[in-house]
Amino acid sequence: MKQAKGDDRYVSNFTRLLIVLGVSILIFFTATLYVVSLYFSDLNDNAYVINISGRQRMLSQSAVKQIYNKQLDSTFKIDLVGLDIWQENHSLLSGNANNRVLGSILNTPEIEETYRKLGIYQEQIIALAKQKTKLQTQQLKTLSEIEQKYLNGMDAIVSNYQKIHEESLEKFKAIAIGSLLFFIAAVYLLLFVFILPLLNKIKKNFKESRTKEFRNQAVIDNTEDAIWSLDKNFNLLTANKTYLSKISKIDSSIIIGSNVRNRFYFGENIHDYNNVFEGKSFSKTYKTIKSGVTNHYELHFYPITENEKIIGCCIRQCDVTQLHKTIQDLQHGEEKLREAQQIADFGNWFWNIEEDEIYISEHLNNIFAIPKEFQKEYLTFPFLVNLIHPDDREAFDITIKNSIVSREPHDIIYRVIVGGKLKFIHQKGKAFYKDDDALKAYRMAGTAQDVTKTIIANQKIENQNKELQNFIYILSHNLKRPIANILALQSLYEEGDNETNDGIMTNIQACCVALNTTIKDLNLSLSLKEISKEDFTEVDVCEILDDIQVLLNKDIIDTKAKIYTKITQDKIMGVKSYFVNIFYNLVLNSLKYHNPDTPLTIKISVFKNRNAIVVKIEDNGLGMLLTPERKKKIFDMYGRLSGKTKGKGLGLYLVKTQVEAMNGSIDVESEVGIGTTMILHFREEAQPNEDNETEYAFLGN
């Protein structure tokens, strides 16, 4: 109450001060405007006086000139009206003390004396002008002297007028500047001595008041939760809008001040209130079901104290339905993740490197068959390493350390012995750092999958492939000699004696030749897959292209093909004979399937791109319609998409086999009527060197 009265007093004083300040400013500006108006009024008078003074000089010269003209021409008439105006102006400037002009600040005793003398000169000139007889020489001389005196007098008056006017202007400026400085000083004094301290005091009081109001309001209204407070007699002391809105739908009779004993609608009961009145703070949950919809709530009870004595309690009801749903969704998600991990036979892990604590998922416990007594909250790195096969521990340790140092993800397969059985584990992971400049990782996370079945299946496939290779070797070896014998016997047969026998022998020869060719193809295919990286040498691409030009010279000339090359990477690790065959078959295909209506252009480029060497062979030939099935078939053994050209369809199969034997891959892009592009990738540690850095060079046609 005292604070409110103090605020009112400060407001009242501030209001009075503002009124006084406003009135002072109004008076100051009114006086300033009055002074300015007087100054400009005098300024107009001064200008009027100076203007008339200037005209007087002109009128005197005009009068003298007319006198001279009359001397030359007796018929010349003097302008008497002009003489009257000249006299009236002189009277206006000096003759009438009640005249407005004589009140000007320009009138001084010196000027009045000058006007008196000029009046005598003026009367003499006018008398000479009105004289009807011709003037004598002495009179003309006198006229000239009088005129000069008059002009000198008027010049002196005008000069004095201007000087007085300028002095008046300087005085006005000084007064104006002084008034402005006085006003600024007065405002500054009022502002910093009275207004600002008063404003700061009021601002402080208002701020304290608003802070208290804000806190109270925050408790009452600034939440979506229902909040209310009761005294120990269960009288409703305060309640926010949410509570009043909810309670009005249940019991409209409850308002602030109502007694709510035994009227509990929000899951609370008398025991809860008794506990909080005893000084206990606690929370509880409850749920409601309405129209099949379940809502979950939390109730928080806090005692209200005054002078260390409990006088009531405050209750807050929170709707936690969404939180409850989120928790359920998380639980369902975790259950689905567990199911997915069981199906895929993998789990996830997290390693706190700084604390050496490894947390693994439930299914990883099953994969590693960790005994229940060891399935504690977390594992340690040494414990995990002991689970790994002794022969793989060193490689595992080096891989993890290199991953941390290089900041690169790791991908490793290691073995564990579980229940006396060998398991293969495929682990992937990545280290994380607190910031980009951190030298030490603080955590690592990843997955681990049981790939035992996959490894065993791959081993079986590898064994089956070896058995198949052995079978082909045995088959080709056992068939070579019989086929050679049959062909030799067939060559001894003399045709012409029997047409039927001739036909049979021709068919036998064709079958033997085809079978022999098939055996050679199988042997060639197997031999390509037996190459190892130790057989690789540095191959010069330019030399290979020169060889290809020689081998296909006739075809290039027949098709009138133009071949362009762009080689920014001229060395590739591999087998030279393989590369010769690869370029030979791919260029030959471009020549075979050229568009007869379009000049054939073949572009060959070799360049580095990231960690691979790329070979592109592009043409503008017939092109083809590629579907996923057709794209796969084009690289199959004897896979041909049409029978329009000669060939067995073995070329691209051999190309693909040779490319893959050198750790490469091949892809094809084609469009009917546009052309075909063959793209080969050979993995190699290399920096980017895009193929557009140089122009194509013409190889020949």
Domain coordinates in residue numbering, the chain: 2-194, 226-319, 346-447, 458-529, 533-700
pLDDT greater than 70 at residue 130:
yes
Q: In angstroms, how far is the first alpha carbon of the chain from the final one?
A: 107
Three-state DSSP state, 295: strand
The secondary structure of 29-51, three-state, reads: HHHHHHHHHHHHHHHHHHHHHHH
pLDDT over 60 at 338, yes or no: yes
What's the burial of 67, exposed, middle or buried (CB within 10 Å: 0-12/13-18/19+)? Answer: buried
Reply yes or no on whether the pLDDT at 490 is more than 70.
no
Cα 12 → chain centroid: 54
What is the C-alpha R_g of the chain? 58
The answer to whether residues 464 and 457 touch, using CB atoms and an 8 Å cutoff, is: no
**What does the alpha-carbon distance between residue 360 and residue 349 come to, in Å, rounded to a whole number?**
4
Top pLDDT among 624 and 635 is at 624
Mean pLDDT across 149-163: 81
Name the least confident of 472-486, 544-558, 666-680. 472-486
* Model pLDDT, residue 207: 80
Lowest mean pLDDT among 177-191, 290-304, 596-610: 177-191
Q: What is the pLDDT of residues 160-208, one digit of tens each?
A: 877 877 777 787 788 778 877 877 887 777 777 767 777 787 778 778 7
Instruction: Report the alpha-carbon distance of residue 401 to residue 127 in Å, rounded.
Output: 129
The residue written with tokens 């681990």 in the block is: 448
* pLDDT higher than 60, residue 639: no
Residue-level pLDDT at 465: 60
Higher pLDDT pick, 415 / 524:
415
pLDDT at residue 520 is higher than 70? no
Q: What are phi and psi of 283, to 5 degrees?
A: -135, 155
How confident is the model over 202-250, as pLDDT tens digits?
A: 778 778 777 776 776 666 666 788 888 889 888 888 888 888 888 888 8
Reply yes or no on whether the pLDDT at 303 is more than 60.
yes
At 411 the pLDDT is 92
- Residue 42's pLDDT is 67
Is the pLDDT confidence value at 653 over 90?
no
The pLDDT of residue 599: 93
pLDDT exceeds cutoff 90 at 421: no
Of 138, 157, 131, nearest in space to 63 by CA = 131
pLDDT, mean of residues 569-586: 88
Residue 332 to residue 24: CA distance in whole angstroms: 78
Q: What is the CATH number of domain 2-194?
A: 1.20.1420
Rounded to whole angstroms, the Cα distance separating 256 from 204 reads 32
Q: Considering the domain 533-700 in this protein, what is its CATH number?
A: 3.30.565.10
Q: What is the pLDDT of residue 149?
A: 84
pLDDT tens per residue across span 43-90: 677 777 777 777 888 888 888 888 888 888 878 888 888 888 888 888
| DSSP H or E segment with residue 309 | strand 309-319
**pLDDT for the residue 382:** 86
Count of CB atoms situated within 10 Å of the CB of 56: 25
The CATH number of the structural domain formed by 346-447 is: 3.30.450.20
Distance from C-alpha of 557 to C-alpha of 550, rounded to nearest angstrom: 11
DSSP character string of 134-197: PPPHHHHHHHHHHHHHHHHHHHHHHHHHHHHHHHHHHHHHHHHHHHHHHHHHHHHHIIIIIIHH
What value does the mean pLDDT of the chain take? 79
pLDDT of amino acid 5: 47
Name the amino acid, one letter, at 439: L
Rounded mean pLDDT, 295-301? 89
Nearest of 664, 518, 514 to residue 586 by alpha carbon: 664
More confident residue, 468 or 459: 459
pLDDT at 244: 85
* Mean pLDDT confidence for 472-479: 64
Q: Do domains 346-447 and 533-700 have the same CATH topology?
A: no
Instruction: Give percent of the chain with pLDDT exceeding 70.
Output: 78
Grade residue 1 by pLDDT with cuts at 50, 70 and 90.
very low
pLDDT over threshold 90, residue 387: no
- Mean pLDDT over 520-545 rounds to 72
- The SS3 of residue 616 is strand
Question: Taking 60 as the threshold, does the pLDDT of residue 647 lie above it?
Answer: no
Closest residue by Cα to residue 157 from 39, 41, 54: 54
In this predicted structure, the answer to whether residue 688 has a pLDDT above a threshold of 50 is: no
Which pLDDT does position 641 carry in this prediction?
A: 46
Q: Are 353 and 384 in contact (CB under 8 A)?
A: no
Q: How many residues does this entry show for the chain?
A: 701
- Counting beta carbons within 10 angstroms of the beta carbon of residue 315, is it exposed (0 to 12), middle (13 to 18) or buried (19 or more)? buried
Residue 557 reports pLDDT greater than 80: yes
pLDDT tops 50 at residue 384: yes
CA-CA distance, 277 to 234, in Å (whole number)?
11
Q: Which of 566, 598, 516 is nearest to 690 (CA)?
A: 566
Over residues 286-299, the mean pLDDT reads 86
The answer to whether 472 and 526 have CB atoms below 8 angstroms apart is: yes
Question: Which pair of tokens denotes residue 37?
Answer: 């108006």
How many angstroms separate the CA atoms of 403 and 414, rounded? 16
**Three-state DSSP class for 348?**
strand
> What CATH architecture applies to the domain 226-319?
2-Layer Sandwich (3.30)
Q: How far apart are CA 14 and CA 478, in angstroms?
A: 121
- Residue in 410, 408, 409, 405 with CA at minimum distance from that of residue 439: 405
Highest mean pLDDT (candidates 33-42, 486-495, 535-544): 535-544
> What does DSSP assign to residue 259?
B
- Backbone dihedral region for residue 423 (phi beyond 0: left; psi -120 to 50: alpha; all else: beta): beta
pLDDT at 2: 44
| Res. 102 pLDDT band, cuts 50 70 90 | very low
Q: How confident is the model at residue 642 (pLDDT cuts 50, 70, 90)?
A: very low
Whether the Cβ atoms of residue 569 and residue 529 lie closer than 8 Å to each other = no
Q: Cα separation of 159 and 562, whole Å? A: 103
Whether 613 shows a pLDDT value over 90: the answer reads yes
Taking residues 563-588, report their average pLDDT: 89
Asked whether 653 and 636 are in contact (CB, 8 A), the reply is yes
